[in-house]
Amino acid sequence: MDRIKDNISLDHLARLLVDVQQDSSSIVDSIISQYQRDLLDLIFLGDAPNRNKVNLIIANEITPHLTAEEYMDKGEYENELKQVIGDTKAAYDISEHDTLVFGSYGLLVAGPNSRHHEPLLCAYLQFITIDIFMQNYFARLWILSDDMQKTNTIIEGSNKDPTALDRIRYRICKIAEDIIKLEEMLGYLLEALDVIEIPPEPPEQAGRSLYERLEISGMRSQLLRRTTDLKKNVGGASRYLEVLREMTGIVAEDRAYNLQRQMELNQKKNLELQENAKQTRIQLTLMMFVFSALLAWGFLDRLTGNSWTVLNTEWATSILTTTITNVPFAWAGVSFVAWALCAVFFAQLSGYLHRKSAGVTTVKIRFDKKVFVDKVYELISTKARTYEDRSISTQGFEIATFTYPEYDWGPSNGVPHIVLEFDVTNSYLLNAQITYNRREANNKNLAFNSRDLQQRLIDEFNDMKIWDAAGEDHSATALAIDRRRALEDDEEADVEE
């Protein structure tokens, strides 16, 4: 207001200090690195600009000038002081004219000799700010411990929540990141406590009295002990995090096991459905034959007329009249015999077709080898493709799958069906699957076994020269170089440490 130097009101000074605290946060924020800002946000939960600070007020005089006990009157004077240093804790007369007042977030030194104690007060401020930071650090550890407890609760109830595993992994990664930063900050605290120098005790009486009231000599040892306690707490949090990781691994393994069991059950059901489908297909095939016979005979009946039968012929009349027509129930017996013969014939035919369809051998080969894409397409172009599938992602990756029957391996041996899957983008042959019915071979001695099928396919690939050995060696060399560089970087980091 209109007070530039003297007679400054504590009301106005309190307002000024609010602006000073906010401005000091902005100033510090502009001169520290982003990593340091991240550490502050971690401790103060993203509210670092409003972190608690310490006010040091040095005045040549205070009006009215009273003794320390008179300022602590639980009334007007003490309430005025609370505006700038918080709840007052204690007040001391360090000399006849100098007064020291402690508050919850600051201290006031008033007297004609107060300026002479500025180095001692600045040393005290270094320790008290570290003390405040440790208080916030300890509170942050409690929050971290609560986060781990919540993570443990989520792990215990993961069987009821299908999305729990993703949330658990995210929380564990975030907690691990926080613990790493907290461990680094402990190192910085220890380094700061080693660097800070404790000023010697002043020779004059007022300085010695202030030195004794500030208790600077014992603050470093107290802070070191508290840092040791914090280190133990962080170590316990790290071990707890390892337990949570092991529990997460158990949950993931349990889910994988249950998923595998479910897949096995589904696979068994699919096999049963496939077997039933084969039986249905065979029965439908037989019904098609019967229906075609009925259709053909009905067509012939339409051509010859419904009144004409085999009894209209002379040769049939002489034979059937005496043996069937004139004998009671003879035609019923002939009908039952014909029915039985047809049933036996179709049952035998159905069993034969079922046995023939059941002799399937499936060979799955995982290659993961680099190939020439044009050579693969050249090979596929010579085959009678029955199925083609292409999976293309938004990132440009393309996976192609081709299915074709292999007639060139000898029709007398049966026809294998081959499925090829390869990565078009990176030129890699991923998988191959051969399905072969050995009972379709005309001679059982000529039927292929699983090794014959695998070798035949590999020989065909070799004849077409689809393998890109040079490109695969280059990829392996690049991977080895990357690993060697990583090892060299680690060795250099160890040497620097």
pLDDT at 68: 83
Of the candidates 420, 427, 430, which has an alpha carbon nearest to the alpha carbon of residue 374? 427
Q: Has residue 253 got a pLDDT over 50?
A: yes
What are the DSSP E strand ranges found in 285-415?
360-370, 387-392, 398-405
pLDDT at 304: 61
Q: Are 80 and 52 in contact (CB under 8 A)?
A: no
pLDDT at 497: 45
pLDDT at 476: 52
pLDDT per residue as tens digits for the range 54-63: 989 999 888 8
Min mean pLDDT across 42-51, 74-83, 351-360 is at 351-360
CA distance 92 to 69: 8
- The first and second tokens of residue 137, run together, are 């650090």
- The first and second tokens of residue 440, run together, are 């379709």
**Helix or strand (DSSP H, E) at 110:** strand 106-110
Q: Has residue 481 got a pLDDT over 60?
A: no
User: If you average pLDDT over residues 455-461, what whole number do you get?
Assistant: 88
pLDDT at 176: 93
Position 472 confidence tier, pLDDT thresholds 50, 70, 90: low
Task: Give 441 or 80, the one with higher predicted confidence.
Answer: 80
Q: Which long-range contacts (CB under 8 A, 24 or more apart) does 181-184 make?
A: 181/38, 181/39, 181/42, 182/42, 182/137, 182/140, 182/141, 182/144, 182/234, 182/237, 183/234, 183/238, 184/39
pLDDT at 415: 80
Q: Which segments of 44-163 does DSSP mark as H helices, in order?
A: 68-71, 76-85, 118-156
pLDDT at 40: 92
Position 489 confidence tier, pLDDT thresholds 50, 70, 90: low
User: If you average pLDDT over residues 412-429, what whole number do you get?
Assistant: 83
Residue 100 three-state SS: strand
Q: Has residue 285 got a pLDDT over 90?
A: no
- Residue 52 CB-density burial (10 A; 0-12 exposed, 13-18 middle, 19+ buried): middle
CA distance 312 to 304: 12
pLDDT at 232: 92
Position 306 confidence tier, pLDDT thresholds 50, 70, 90: low
Position 152 confidence tier, pLDDT thresholds 50, 70, 90: very high
User: If you average pLDDT over residues 461-477, what whole number do you get?
Assistant: 75
Task: Give 359 or 231, the one with higher predicted confidence.
Answer: 231
Query: How many DSSP H helices and E strands does the chain contain?
Result: 13, 9
Q: What sign does the dihedral 207-212-215-220 (CA atoms) show? A: positive
Of the candidates 432, 430, 428, 422, which has an alpha carbon nearest to the alpha carbon of residue 468? 428
Q: Are 204 and 145 in contact (CB under 8 A)?
A: no
pLDDT at 287: 81
Average per-residue pLDDT for the chain: 82
Position 425 confidence tier, pLDDT thresholds 50, 70, 90: confident
Residue 460 three-state SS: helix
In sequence order, the 6+-apart residues with CB closer than 8 A to the CB of 231 are: 186
User: If you average pLDDT over residues 26-44, what whole number do you get?
Assistant: 91
CA distance 182 to 137: 8
ω into residue 64 within 30 of 0, thus cis? yes
Min mean pLDDT across 160-169, 223-232, 306-315 is at 306-315
Q: What is the largest CA-CA distance in the chain?
A: 156
